[in-house]
Structure 1
Amino acid sequence: MLVIILLVALELCSSVVNIPNTKLAFFLTYIVYFTFLSVNVYRQVLFSKEVNIGMIAAVLCGFIILGLTGGFIFSMIEYLQPHSFNNIAVGVAYVSDLIYFSFITILSIGYGDITPATQIAQKTALLFGLLGYFYGVVVIGVIIGKYLARK
């Protein structure tokens, strides 16, 4: 709850008063918030005793959180180093473009409509591609292991 209040306050500050680095604090707060959520979700998946609908929902939530975290990290890179990504919208709409890019990257689809242009953007996209692949492999392994252990 406190994080949501902080996010709303940061958004108001960045839109009403032009305080330097407010947008950076906004991105960092989102990243910390989603990292905290993801640790809790991943812990629930790993320590679940059996495969049930709650575990499947946690797996899906964990994947969505991974994609959103990637989108905010890519947005922070674009904010700190403008033109780090090719073919993204101008203004605040670039955040939604980079969330889309994050999901396309972790799903290993790679349409090529948005591409990283700087080294930090390329390395971060590579990291999230590996995280998406690793997430799928580990989660499938955990689910199969728990299902077989139950039988």
Structure 2
Amino acid sequence: MKEKIYNIRFEFFFFTQIAVLFGSLLVPGKIFEESVGPIFFLLNLIAGIILISKRKDLLWFFLVLLIASSAIFAFAQANGEMTLLTRYIQFGIYFAFYLTVSYEIIKQVWYTQKVNRTVIYGLISGFVSLGLIGFFIFMSIEIANPESFEGGLLILKNQSPNTLTEQLMYFSFITLMTIGYGEIVPVTPLAQKASILVGLMGQFYLVIITAVVVGKFVNQNKTNSK
């Protein structure tokens, strides 16, 4: 049973990522932000634990993150809202989680011998994780240096607290994919350099990691056809 769950680790992780990113399309904003979203994040943490379950050194680290995140969620539900301190702690937990799990996903995909559907899910999950890392980088910069980003719906961030999170998440992914619509712009040197970094991460991932997997898949098909 344990091995069967491990074999679908990338699929589970990918679908929980999609729930985190797009769950707000199905659930009203405030309810998603306060109740449903944190549950999806917890499920994503659980999926990450399954993903690294064969790494005993990381397993305890992820379990600590899961327990801490669960305690923060329970505290917020009991008090009706999350304090600024607990938000920062939760932010740090997710940042550490996605940094670690992205490295592990890339490593597992890189060293895989057989390319199958599970590996493809892992490849996609790794790319999505980079977008989330970019979001946490941008949020860190904005927290340390307010007004580092301008444009888009950021003018409404004082009226709706969720606006900043949603806009920087959006900015991270369009930067990672090098779409660059231009309605949100980094206006400080640190924010601009971070935007370059996120854009480069996306390009390096597509050019190197994706190319390696495609190369293995082509060689695998050639070997099977002989």
Q: TM-score range by the shorter chain?
A: 0.7 to 0.9
TM-score scaled to structure 1, two decimals? 0.87
| Matched residue type, 2:108 | Q
Report the equivalent of 1:116: 186
Q: Which residue of 1 aligns with 2:210?
A: 140
- 5 Å-filtered alignment, 1:54-93, equals 54-87=118-151, 88=154, 89-90=156-157, 91-93=161-163
Tell me how far apart the structure 2 counterparts of residues 24 and 81 of structure 1 sit (CA, whole Å): 15
Structure 1 counterpart of 2:206, which letter? Answer: G
Amino acid at match of 1:137: V
- Looking at structure 1, the residues matched to 181 and 82 of structure 2 have their Cα atoms a distance apart, in angstroms, of 37
Equivalent residue number for residue 68 of structure 2: 6
User: Take 1:4 and 1:120, find their aligned partners in 2: how far apart are those partners?
Assistant: 31
Q: CA RMSD in A?
A: 2.1
Cα–Cα, structure 1 residues 72 and 149, in superposed 2: closer, same or farther, change >3 Å? same
Unaligned 5+ runs, structure 2 = 1-62
Contact 2:98 2:133 in 1 (8 A): yes
For residues 100 and 139 of structure 1, the distance between their equivalents in structure 2, rounded to whole angstroms, comes to 23
- How far did 1:4 drift? 2.9
Which stretch shifts more, 126-135 or 24-33? 24-33
Counterpart contact for 2:106–2:209, Cα < 8 Å: no
- The residue correspondences of 1:100-115 to structure 2 (distance < 5 A) are 100-115=170-185
The one-letter amino acid of 2:178's match is S
TM-score (norm 2): 0.60
- Report how many residues are paired: 149
What is the DSSP-based 3-state SS (H/G/I as helix, E as strand, rest coil) of the residue aligned with 2:179?
Answer: coil
SS of the residue 2:104 aligns to: helix
- TM-fit CA distance, 1:95: 1.2
Instruction: Indicate the structure (1 or 2) with the bigger Cα radius of gyration.
Output: 2
Shift of 1:23: 4.1
Looking at structure 2, the residues matched to 55 and 149 of structure 1 have their Cα atoms a distance apart, in angstroms, of 15
CA distance in 1 between counterparts of 2:141 and 2:72 reads 18
**Which one is further off, 32-41 or 1-10?**
1-10
Aligned mates of 2:98, 2:83 — CA distance in 1: 26
Per-residue Cα deviation, 1:88-142 (whole angstroms, up to 9, x for no partner): 2413420121111000001000001111011110000000001101111012321
